[in-house]
A and B are shown apart, each in its own frame.
Chain A
């Protein structure tokens, strides 16, 4: 069991959280949508697995490189 960390690639605001802890996701699935530069920017799973933890809330500002989700693969 390896823990994969999904980080934000851009500074912005968490607009929508699309998954809940415990959900099974595949590589490329949208986990979170960040609003930045007036665009809806999806945060994609970088591997398949189970969502362990979501570290942010909707409307929360995030910075580039910030950890958003932990997956277990």
Chain B
């Protein structure tokens, strides 16, 4: 401090101001202007859009590459901006790639920044946000045996995922290498249209395997939302992607040792659920979209669907019931009649892992003719997928409540929470429960058209079919206490609210056992 006591007169303070300005300038005005022209936010604008205003506290503002003297001056933040901020008043840790600094490539210094954010998030119980846009490892730092030895593998937990706190990822530009890995081990991955997530760049693909391919085809939003399921949702802009990350985190606790946050709920939240029955056709062969049913059942506007374009015979969505987070798993008869295929099984398994790891009660809405069968299903490893899903469901320790709307058969009955695979099962009076569809059952048991009956007009066939149909009605399973409740559609929301209260994890303060916490990060 100077003799006058004014800190700014110390030469160190001038230096501070200058160095800070340089760090905040990122990769320079030319690169920033080029980005702006394409309508894409830069790293610091993304931080502002993500966080509550004025809450960002940077960690490592003065970090820079130390691998060689010339990089020291032109690598502000070393290309990855880290720090803490608040989302809806709650602390989070974040790492945001700054592509304008050497393509946000990975180095020893910025690796330390990522390590610090992950460590603090995990040990102190903060959600972690990772915004990816990186070209991969920095060259030449990582080249050669010396580079590999110096740079890689010194943190054996670098890609370890044990789900102590929720991680949300945004793929907001080109992501190759570590930014792709982090996107894939996050609990929710949002991709902005036009961004790309792939193992390696199109250029390297062309060099290494001679494949000419463009970004979109290699790792664009359509691929990852429809074919791979590695992205949970796609947005049109950076701003929407960041809003989606905020929304996702609003359903989740800050860490695995607390219950999810509770939101106030507006009066009249139950009004739409009183007309639930109107949304489901009574005729057993008619299809319908289950999503309006979920929308009417949950608190108004609270549904947040994950992987909507992938494994579509199933719907997985976070939502709220009287302000409390629940995870909805539903068959969607609109797609494949609600018959679960291999992708739908994978999607549900991944959702079970999310909900179980973060103490989110599950609500299953059941209306399925079974699993998709046939050669295509077998080639897609349906048996493995079905039992993986079943195993996950049986390991879940959060409350599980299931409601059978119309039909449920065979193994799908168990996978969708039938019997003791839910804590409580309710069925609508229209529910139909059996080992298989009565039309098939009558043919399997009685030999079908070539067997005992001449054709399906045969009165004996008709009688057998009618018997099978009657045997599948809800009353026999209710008599056997195989379902605990038979409820009318309009009673569904009040029943669910009450059951969520009955089955609240009181003994552990709303916290489950997390037996899926180290299950795979994709399927």
Interface residues of A (CB under 8 A from B): 9-11, 36-42, 63-65
Contact = CB atoms under 8 A, between A and B. Distances in A.
Contact of A40 (B287, B374, B437, B440): B287
A39 B372 contact: no
B337 A37 contact: yes
Contacts of B336: 9-10, 36-37, 41
Contacts of B374: 11, 64
Contacts of A11: 372, 374, 376
B286 interface: yes
B376 A39 contact: no
A38 B439 contact: yes
Given A37-B339, A38-B439, A40-B285, 9 more contacts: A9-B336, A10-B336, A10-B337, A37-B369, A37-B372, A40-B287, A41-B337, A63-B376, A64-B376
Given A10-B372, A64-B376, A39 B338 contact: yes
B443 to A, nearest CB: 11
Given A10-B372, A63-B376, A39 B335 contact: no
Interface in B281-312: 284-287
A38 B285 contact: yes
Contact of A42 (B287, B369, B376, B439): B287
A7 B440 CA distance: 26
Contacts of B285: 38-40
A39 B340 CA distance: 13
Given A9-B335, A9-B336, A38 B376 contact: no
B333 interface: yes
Nearest to A33: B287
Interface residues of B, number: 19
A36 B286 CA distance: 12
Nearest to A41: B337
A38 B336 CA distance: 11
A36 to B, nearest CB: 6
| Best-buried of B287, B337, B339 by chain A (most CB within 10 Å) | B337
Interface in B88-108: none
Interface string B261-295: 00000000000000000000000111100000000
A9 B339 CA distance: 11
A11 B339 CA distance: 11
A39 B439 contact: no
A42 B335 CA distance: 8
B376 A36 contact: no
Contacts of B334: 42
B288 to A, nearest CB: 10
Interface string B226-241: 0000000000000000
A24 B372 CA distance: 32
B227 to A, nearest CB: 13
Nearest to A35: B285
B286 A40 contact: yes
Nearest to B438: A38
Contacts of A63: 376
Interface string B370-388: 1010101000000000000
Interface string B330-358: 00011111110000000000000000000
Nearest to A65: B376
Contacts of A41: 287, 336-337
B366 to A, nearest CB: 15
A36 B285 CA distance: 10
Contacts of B335: 9
Nearest to B376: A64
A10 B440 CA distance: 18
A28 to B, nearest CB: 11
Q: Top 7 closest A-B pairs, CB basis?
A: A39-B337, A37-B369, A38-B437, A64-B376, A10-B336, A37-B339, A11-B374
Contacts of A36: 336-337, 339
